Chain A
C-alpha cells in the first residue's frame, strides 16, 4: 500500500494488535481522538477501550506503568504525545525500564515500546520540537530507533513491539505527512540495529537518521550534480544498538564522512559516530569528519525554528567542507 509515515504507524499498530491480544495501546488523547497526529486513529473502535485507552496527563506513570504491564506479560505500546515531554518519564526509563532484565538477572523483563513524535519544523509551541535522541541512546538497556520512511516506520515499530526488551521509537513528525511511499501489506519487520545504505557512492559517506534524511538525500543529490562526486548516504534507522559495521565499511571505502542531525551539536549522536569512526576507520580518513547539526541552544519557538534546523544548503556546505578538507592520516 501507499502510505504516509503516520499511516504506517497506524498500520503497524493494527498488525500488532491483531496478531497479539497482549498488545495494549495507551497515552494522552490516543483512544477517543485517535491521537493528536491521528497515529492511533480507529484503534479503539476496532479493539475496544481495554486495549486502547486515554490516560491522565502524566508521562511518569505512562512510562512507569508500561514497565509494570510488560513485566506481567503484556506488550504496552505507550505514546508520549511529543518527545519534548519525555523528560518527566526519563526517571522511569533510566531507573526502571532499561534495567529490569539486568537487575533481576533475567527473571523479569520489560518488553515495552514508547512511541513519541520528535523534531521541529511543524510550527509547534515551545517544548514540542526537541531532538534529544543522544540522551536516550546513552541509557544502557534502552534501544532507540528513528525511522525516516513509511516502510521502515512500520517495520521498526513492529520489531520493537515484538522485541523482548524496551524500545523507544522516535517518529519524525515533520515527515508524518510530507510524502507517501510504498509500505508492505500485513506482516513486515525491519531488524533493530541495521542501518540502510540509501545511495551508494565512492567519495564520501554521509550519515543521518529520522527527520533530516530527506534533506540529506536532497543535498547529496544536488552536490553529485554540481561536483561530479558520488556520495554514499546511510540512514542509521537505529541509533541504539548502532550498526557500526555498515558505517565503518562505508568510511573505509570512501575515506570521508559527514554526519547530519537536528539535535544540538555538543554531546549529540554525531559525536558517538565520530568516536566510532576513529576507533574503526581512522587510518582510512582523508579529512576530518564533519558534523552538520542544530546549534548548542534550545530549540527556538516557531519564528526562528527554521534558522535552527539544518537545511539542504547548510548540509551541502557541510559536505563540501569535508570533500575539500585535507589532513587525514
Chain B
C-alpha cells in the first residue's frame, strides 16, 4: 500500500519542464574507454593487473588471427576455401573479449571472430572446415561454442534463453553473444535483448562496431550515436571501449562480465574498423575511400599493442618473427588436417535431423544411394558443374 502512495514505479515525478521530461539522444558520440593510445603510450596506473606471460598470449592470439585471415583469403583466391569473412583490423576486439571470459562461459559467434572460437578451444582445423562448408565443424559443444549465426540476429534471443537457463541453474557462467553493429537493427536483437533484461539473463552483448554492415556505414544503420546507448531503452547498461586497444577491451569485458554474471545483461561496444573487405565476395572500393582505410590502418590494433609491449619492456622477451612463424606452422598443420578430413558419404545430410530417422527420410536416403550406384556419372557432373 505504502508503495502505491508514491504511485506505481513507472509513473515518475511530475515536472513543469518539458525539457526535463525529454529524454534526448546524447549530443556527442559518447567517449570510448582507452588504456593504450594510438601510438602505444599509456598511463601505468591504468594498466590492468595482468602478467607478462598473459600479455604475450594476447599478442600471440592477435598474430594468429592475422595469419589466419591472410591465409584464408589466399586459399579462397586459389579456390581452396569458400567465401571468407576476414577479421583484419578487429583483432583486439575479438581477442580482448574472448580472453576476458571464464572457462565455463559460452560463446555465440556470428562469423567474424575466429580467434574467439579458437580461444574457446575450437581446433583451427575446424575453423577451416567451417569456411569450407562442412557441417561437422559445428560440433563445438565441448568447447562451449555455438555455431555462427549467419542469419543476422538469430542467435540473440537464443543466446539470451541459454543464459537464462544458466541463471536458473545457478551456474556462474555467462553467454557472450558476439555481433556486428548492423545486428541491433533486427527485430531479433531488439526483442532478444529486451527479453534478456526482463529475465535477468547473464548475457554479454559484445559488439565490435567496425563502422560498416557490408556497404552501409554505421550512420546508415541507425540514427543513434552508438550501439552501447541502445541498452538504455531496455533498462540495461552499455559500455563503449576502444576496440583497437586490446587491454581496454579486456578490462572493460572483465568488469562487464562480473555485472553480467549477476544477471544484468550488458552491451559492450568495441569501436573498431574492418580493414579488409566484408567477405571475399565484396569490393569495398564501391563504398569507402582509401583515405579512410589508411587512417585506420595507421591505428590498427596489433601494431599498437607491439608499441605498448616495447614501452612496457616486454618486447625484449619476445621473438616476433618466431611467433608469426609458429602461427603459420599452426595454420599449415590445420590446413593439412582439413585436407585430410574424410568426407563422409551422403547419409550425413540425413543423419542428424531427428533423433530417429523417420521412414520417409530413410526411404529418400536409400533411393539416393541406389541412384548414385546406378548413375556414377552424377559424381562427374557434380565435380564439373560450373560453381557460382
A-side interface residues toward B, CB under 8 Å? 28-29, 32-34, 36, 54-60, 84-85, 87-88, 121-128, 173-174, 176-178, 265-266, 295-298, 300-308, 311-314, 316-317
Contact = CB atoms under 8 A, between A and B. Distances in A.
Given A304-B349, A316-B375, 16 more contacts: A28-B213, A28-B214, A33-B287, A36-B282, A55-B216, A88-B186, A123-B133, A178-B386, A178-B388, A296-B364, A302-B133, A303-B343, A306-B382, A307-B346, A307-B382, A308-B349
A232 B152 CA distance: 43
Contacts of A300: 133, 135, 349
B348 A314 contact: no
B188 interface: yes
Contacts of B41: none
B328 interface: no
Contacts of B361: 295-297
Given A88-B187, A124-B83, A317-B371, A34 B286 contact: yes
B82 A123 contact: yes
B388 to A, nearest CB: 3
Interface in B351-388: 353, 360-361, 364-365, 368, 371, 374-375, 377-378, 381-382, 385-388
Nearest to B344: A304
Nearest to A318: B371
A245 to B, nearest CB: 32
B388 A304 contact: no
B364 A295 contact: yes
B132 interface: yes
Majority SS at the chain A contact face: loop
Name, among B216, B286, B348, the residue most crowded by chain A CB atoms within 10 Å (CB to CB): B216
Contacts of B187: 58, 60, 88
A122 B386 CA distance: 9
Nearest to A88: B187
B21 interface: no
Interface of B: 82-83, 111, 132-135, 148, 150-153, 182-183, 185-188, 213-216, 220-222, 281-282, 286-287, 343, 346, 348-350, 353, 360-361, 364-365, 368, 371, 374-375, 377-378, 381-382, 385-388
A128 B388 CA distance: 13
B133 A33 contact: no
7 contacts: A33-B214, A57-B182, A57-B216, A121-B387, A128-B150, A295-B349, A303-B134
A57 B183 contact: yes
A124 B220 CA distance: 26
A86 to B, nearest CB: 11
B304 to A, nearest CB: 30
Contacts of A125: 82-83, 111, 133, 150
Nearest to A122: B388
Contacts of A298: 353
Name, among A84, A300, A308, the residue most crowded by chain B CB atoms within 10 Å (CB to CB): A300
Given A84-B151, A265-B364, A311 B381 contact: yes
A125 B309 CA distance: 38
A313 B368 CA distance: 12
A235 B349 CA distance: 29
A313 B286 CA distance: 41
Nearest to B346: A307
A34 B286 CA distance: 9
Contacts of A296: 353, 360-361, 364
Name, among B134, B151, B353, the residue most crowded by chain A CB atoms within 10 Å (CB to CB): B151
Contacts of A311: 378, 381-382, 385
A123 B83 contact: yes
A304 B216 contact: no
A128 B151 CA distance: 9
B133 A305 contact: yes
A85 B154 CA distance: 11
A126 B150 contact: yes
Contact of B350 (A84, A124, A295, A314): A295
A32 B285 CA distance: 11
B215 A313 contact: no
A88 to B, nearest CB: 6
B150 A127 contact: yes
Nearest to A298: B353
A304 B133 contact: yes
B285 to A, nearest CB: 10
A126 B147 CA distance: 11
B185 A56 contact: yes
B150 to A, nearest CB: 5
B387 A122 contact: yes
Contacts of B365: 295
Contacts of B385: 121, 306, 311
Contact of B374 (A127, A173, A317): A317
A301 B150 CA distance: 11
A27 to B, nearest CB: 11
B130 to A, nearest CB: 8
A125 B381 CA distance: 22
Contacts of B83: 123-125
Nearest to A311: B381
Contacts of A308: 349
B381 A303 contact: no
A215 B158 CA distance: 39
Contacts of A121: 385, 387-388
B148 to A, nearest CB: 8
Contacts of B381: 311-313
Contacts of A54: 215-216, 220
Contacts of A174: 388
Contacts of B134: 301, 303
Given A121-B387, A302-B82, A303-B132, A56 B286 contact: no
Given A32-B287, A297-B353, A266 B360 contact: yes
The 10 nearest A-B residue pairs measured at CB: A122-B388, A302-B133, A301-B133, A56-B185, A33-B215, A303-B133, A306-B382, A313-B378, A57-B182, A313-B375
A36 B281 contact: yes
Contact of B375 (A29, A124, A317): A317
Contact of B185 (A58, A87, A303): A58
Nearest to B216: A54
B255 to A, nearest CB: 29
